[in-house]
């Protein structure tokens, strides 16, 4: 197949890499400025905010187990066809054990930061009302979903 010279990439690779590096630098500067603004508006120094984010990132690999759900047998439905007629047959399958855990970097560090900010800024009433609203909305929107991993 013959390729015509009409379709070409107008920027060579070194210039494209330089453009990507400049874009990354600009994005980093905007993110740093936003991070500085957010930390100042919360009343936390920029270095402390950076340390908290770094701590959250590093501790995201640590999980604290809080419950062990044992292995059990679960019945699920399977469909079998016999002479063109479909039958639903219950099938017993093993459900593996599950460990329920809390992630330190994703849950414990943000909760501790939130509690620090509530106490520091004396936002007890607003914090309690906000937590109650989020809890109620999540409770009414949450629906259990059956696992269909083996079907």
Residue-by-residue pLDDT tens, the chain, 151 positions: 565 555 566 667 788 888 889 989 988 888 888 888 888 888 888 888 888 989 999 999 899 999 887 777 666 677 778 787 887 777 767 677 778 899 999 999 999 999 999 999 899 999 999 999 999 999 999 887 766 554 4
pLDDT (0 to 100) of residue 144: 75
CA distances for 72 relative to 80, 93, 104, 129, 151, angstroms: 25, 9, 28, 40, 17
For residue range 62-91, list pLDDT tens digits in order.
Answer: 999 998 877 776 666 777 787 878 877 777
CA 97 – CA 136 distance, rounded (Å): 30
Task: Indicate the pTM of the whole model.
Answer: 0.60
Which residues on adjacent β-strands are paired with residue 63? 103
Helix or strand run (H / E) with residue 21: helix 13-42
| Structure tokens, 12 | 């060579």
Residue given tokens 């379709």 in the structure block: 7
The set of long-range contacts for 143-146, using a CB threshold of 8 Å and a minimum separation of 24, is none
pLDDT (0 to 100) of residue 151: 46
Cβ(32)–Cβ(49) under 8 Å? no
pLDDT (0 to 100) of residue 4: 58
Give 82's Cβ-side CA count (13 Å radius): 6
Give residue limits of the domains in the chain.
Answer: 43-141
């Amino acid at each position: 197949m013959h390729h015509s010279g009409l379709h070409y990439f107008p920027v060579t690779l070194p210039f494209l890499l330089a453009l990507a590096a400049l874009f990354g630098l600009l994005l980093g500067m905007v993110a740093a400025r936003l991070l500085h603004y957010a930390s100042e508006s919360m009343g936390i120094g920029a270095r402390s905010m950076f340390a908290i984010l770094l701590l959250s990132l590093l501790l995201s690999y640590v999980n604290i187990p809080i419950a062990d759900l044992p292995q059990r047998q679960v019945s699920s439905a399977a469909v079998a066809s016999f002479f063109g007629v479909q039958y639903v047959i219950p099938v017993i399958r093993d459900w593996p054990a599950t460990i329920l855990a809390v992630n330190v970097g994703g849950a414990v560090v943000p909760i501790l930061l939130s509690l620090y900010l509530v106490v520091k800024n004396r936002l007890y009433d607003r914090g309690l009302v906000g937590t109650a609203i989020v809890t109620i909305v999540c409770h009414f929107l949450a629906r259990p979903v059956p696992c269909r991993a083996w079907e």
